[in-house]
Amino acid sequence: MSDLSDRWISLPRAVRWALVGGGLIVVYFVCVEPIVDRINSLNGAAGTRAAMLAAHAKNAAELQVKAEKVALGVRHFGEVQMPGDPEQRALEFNRAVDEVLKKNGVTEHTATTRTSPMGAGPLMATVGSEFRVDRLIKDIQFTADPPVVAAVIADLERSPVVAAVSRLQIRQADSRDKSVKQVRVTLDAEAWLLARKGKAR
């Protein structure tokens, strides 16, 4: 040990400083530099996550309002299914409408069905450019008491297969008996069909 010490002392001062400086540089690049890089990497990741949390917190109130609107709509009108296979959805739709009318005691009614393309809107953007959405519209006419009419409309709105009751007209039923409180109803219930563009309806 004394030999090393003696050798160190015997070296010129400039050489000693050069060796100390070189040793410090090696220690820096071997030990300190990787630690600094790791800290910078962690700081960058933390900054990104902090920015994401800040953006989420900023939009939290708006998202909450939108979620409450969706929940209110579902409570009032029920779930609505996304557009489905034209044949299957048409069968489900006709069955659902018939069940609603039967459940509420509407035995005499007339109905006509037509198909109409849906206009541009958010729904069209979600189905993709190779598809189109058609509205299967059932025009229903019947006569019933006002509470029955209200129940029919509510049940149609609650059915997931019925996308909308898009038109409703209620007028007093033609009757010479003024004690009769029945009304004549014309309404359009519709379902949404997903069809590939270029296929016949």
pLDDT for position 67: 73
Structure pTM?
Answer: 0.57
One pLDDT digit (tens) per residue for the chain, 201 residues: 567 676 767 777 777 677 777 777 777 777 777 787 787 787 788 778 877 777 777 777 777 777 777 677 666 666 666 777 878 888 999 999 999 999 998 888 899 999 888 777 666 666 667 778 888 899 999 998 899 999 999 999 888 898 888 888 988 877 666 666 888 999 999 988 887 776 554
Q: What is the pLDDT of residue 77?
A: 61
In three-state form (DSSP H/G/I as H, E/B as E, the rest C), the secondary structure along the chain is CHHHHHHHHHCCHHHHHHHHHHHHHHHHHHHHHHHHHHHHHHHHHHHHHHHHHHHHHHHHHHHHHHHHHHHHHHHHHCCCCCCECHHHHHHHHHHHHHHHHHHCCCCCEEEEEEEEECCCCHHHHHHCCCEEEEEEEEEEEEEECHHHHHHHHHHHHHCCCCCEEEEEEEEECCCCCCCCCCEEEEEEEEEEEEEECCCCC
pLDDT (0 to 100) of residue 175: 63
> What pLDDT does residue 148 have?
92
pLDDT of residue 96: 92
Q: What confidence score (pLDDT) does residue 26 get?
A: 75
pLDDT of residue 35: 80
